[in-house]
Amino acid sequence: MGKFNFIKTSIDGVIIVEPTAYGDSRGYFMETYQKEDFYAGGITVDFVQDNQSMSTKGVLRGLHFQKQYSQSKLVRCIKGEVFDVAVDLREGSPTFGKWEGVILSAENKRQFFMPKNFAHGFLVLSDEAEFVYKVDDYYHPNDEGGLMWNDKDIGIKWPIDDTFEIKLSDKDKLHPPFSEYKK
């Protein structure tokens, strides 16, 4: 394996990235992004902005997207653990409305790439999580869109049970169902 292992998923363009960590008794070192390697691995976008958030257990952020200024994202969890989800919103795609999810954690060091025209969300599974991501277009606050996190038509299988308390922002509580999706 080289510096990165690029794992294709059931949705075209959505890729799990496993970086190689070089460790010894002092700790570890790893590259998290290298343009030439990523281009060779099928991720051919130019990132323009990095973002970071911290959330506590049960916080669910999403499902978010930008309507006209869609963003490709490369996401990872640098502290704790999250369940990360991408929902295909590419009209005409054979996987339109389908989702792919992956556990991202500081321990597994995995990254998750989704191209433009995907809704994105994540659920914090650990007591606390720090989440970072690169995007290939700037955030436009007047261009926000969202979908219900628990929409039956999408059918995301969140790793929760009846005892798990989901914490949503007021904005995320108001997202419409997938049946009302409009770009």
CATH number at residue 79: 2.60.120.10
Average pLDDT on 149-156 reads 97
- Does residue 33 lie in a domain region? no
Residue 49 in tokens: 């902005």
Domain range for 59: 47-108+115-180
Q: Which residue has the tokens 């502290």?
A: 79
- Does residue 124 lie in a domain region? yes
Q: pLDDT per residue over 5-53, tens digit each?
A: 999 999 999 999 999 999 999 999 999 999 999 999 999 999 999 999 9
Please tell me the total count of domains within the chain. Answer: 1
Average pLDDT on 124-143 reads 96
**Which pLDDT score, from 0 to 100, does residue 2 have?**
74
**Would you name the residues annotated as active-site residues?**
64, 133
Give the separation between CA 171 and CA 165, rounded to whole angstroms. Answer: 18
Reply yes or no: is the peptide bond before residue 63 cis, omega within 30 of 0.
Answer: yes
**Which pLDDT score, from 0 to 100, does residue 149 have?**
97
Categorize the per-residue pLDDT at 181 as very low, low, confident or very high, splitting at 50, 70 and 90: confident
**Which pLDDT score, from 0 to 100, does residue 162 have?**
87
**Which pLDDT score, from 0 to 100, does residue 49 have?**
96
- Does residue 21 lie in a domain region? no
- Does residue 149 lie in a domain region? yes
- Does residue 1 lie in a domain region? no
Q: pLDDT per residue over 107-130, tens digit each?
A: 999 999 999 999 999 999 999 999
Q: pLDDT per residue over 71-86, tens digit each?
A: 999 999 999 999 999 9
Q: Is the pTM of this model over 0.85?
A: yes
* Confidence check: pLDDT of 171 > 70: yes
**Which pLDDT score, from 0 to 100, does residue 77 have?**
98
- Does residue 34 lie in a domain region? no
- Does residue 160 lie in a domain region? yes
* Confidence check: pLDDT of 183 > 70: no
